[in-house]
Structure 1
């Protein structure tokens, strides 16, 4: 069995949600990783946090818990229909291709951002806006999915091995649009250093997932979620077989490669 990445926790945080309530796939792939890193950046009561790409709001709720009743979390997304405003959570609808982020320079103690799966005209500009809104000494946390080739370590037979890899590859391209669309930039770390960000730490991880365990059940859910898009390349029988394989304990594969960067703005 391939060794797990040293950053990798057990698969339990990947527990699937009911299909009727499932959020967009990219959030389900990144949120468990973001939650682990968020708790390392010392978000305290009464602070303010900007969240870019809030999605269904799981991270938003956790941030609101960390800042408490007198803090503020400004949650930004193109689609805010799944977010609920509170006395702590301020919801702002923004299209990152056309609209500037809310507020002004040095406004937030921390910024947490998940890379949009929509191709951005100028992702560097979006990153620079986030850095500008971050107060000196504050932390920026960026999460994205890196291009990677699906790896299947074990399957019932070679045909199944090929099908799993092909569907996983198609899912990733459907989510990200292209190899580069799912990442912030090809030189994110250099950009952060050049913009005065210090103490940056990069977490890149790939988990090992077994059939009928949470990670593979998540992939089955995502295949159901993306069924109309996937049927342009696969038959219904193919997708039924893929979901059956995701419930087969003989299957062993590598998850998508995620990256989380957190960096501190110089005082």
Structure 2
């Protein structure tokens, strides 16, 4: 890797390996993610269980990019014949190997799938990992390696965060008086635009994520088509049932760990985006 990409990978690795926290706490929002129906969106077009992306999931071999301590490896292993994974963190890899018997868990250098064998997998996926990589060149290297490990004719589903008004985003609840409800959005300067290389980011895991908005969708899809002959995207609206702003005293419509709810009104993203990619360009 280039010096800049190596610097970014070193920062990410240190963030996860040196944190004096349990692996569940490093992941963050663990209970929410355990309740979110990732399998439905990763394995079905538009999150519609009538439209599976694999002809026979029970016979398919899957691979997770950024597998962390193995949460989604364990969950996806209930649906696929075999699930392996890779992560940049030695701490997470050790935990995943202990918690996911039967899976091969590889250590990644930060822009690859580790020592996973070439042309070996029917399906690759990522949930709550690639969104934290604010360097486009790093994600490009990862996509290179995803194509390497996939069989010809295989497919992938990769999850990112999306905000419909981005680069403008809300960071506080709308102010209300007796006459007006004013929804204020500001120009985001914290996260990286899709094609940016924020290689000098000082932190990861939501400190500096990759972000895109409605107007960016065509270019983002075109970017994925550099690696795959077919790319499409669907969205899960996270604003449904979101709790009222902190300290408002007003009750949430749904419990905070409900699949349709994430965080608070000042969360910058509005949707989860699932990019489904077919026809890897070998």
TM bracket (short chain): 0.5 to 0.7
Which residue number in structure 2 is paired with residue 244 of structure 1?
247
Equivalent position to 2:160, from 139, 144, 167 = 144
Which residue number in structure 1 is paired with residue 243 of structure 2?
216
Equivalent position to 2:134, from 112, 115, 119 = 119
Which residue number in structure 1 is paired with residue 200 of structure 2?
none
Counterpart check, 1:54 vs 2:58: no
Instruction: Pick which of 52-61 and 148-157 moved more.
Output: 148-157
| Higher RCO (CA 8 Å, separation ≥ 6 residues) | 1
Alpha carbons of structure 1 residues 48 and 257: separation in structure 2 relative to 1, 3 Å: same
Is the CA contact (8 Å cut-off) linking 2:143 and 2:227 kept in structure 1?
no
Which residue number in structure 1 is paired with residue 227 of structure 2?
195
Counterpart check, 1:73 vs 2:73: no
Query: Aligned equivalents of 1:88 and 1:189: distance in 2?
Result: 35
Query: Aligned equivalents of 2:278 and 2:23: distance in 1?
Result: 39
Deviation at 1:144, TM superposition (A): 0.9
CA RMSD of aligned residues (A): 4.4
Query: Aligned equivalents of 2:39 and 2:126: distance in 1?
Result: 12
Deviation at 1:262, TM superposition (A): 0.8
Is the CA contact (8 Å cut-off) linking 1:140 and 1:265 kept in structure 2?
no
Query: Aligned equivalents of 2:251 and 2:174: distance in 1?
Result: 10
Which residue number in structure 1 is paired with residue 196 of structure 2?
none
Larger proportion of helix: 1
Equivalent position to 1:101, from 114, 123, 127 = 114
Deviation at 1:172, TM superposition (A): 7.4
Ranges in structure 1 where 5+ consecutive residues have no aligned partner: 1-18, 218-241
Alpha carbons of structure 1 residues 132 and 153: separation in structure 2 relative to 1, 3 Å: same
- Calculate the TM-score normalised by the size of structure 1: 0.59
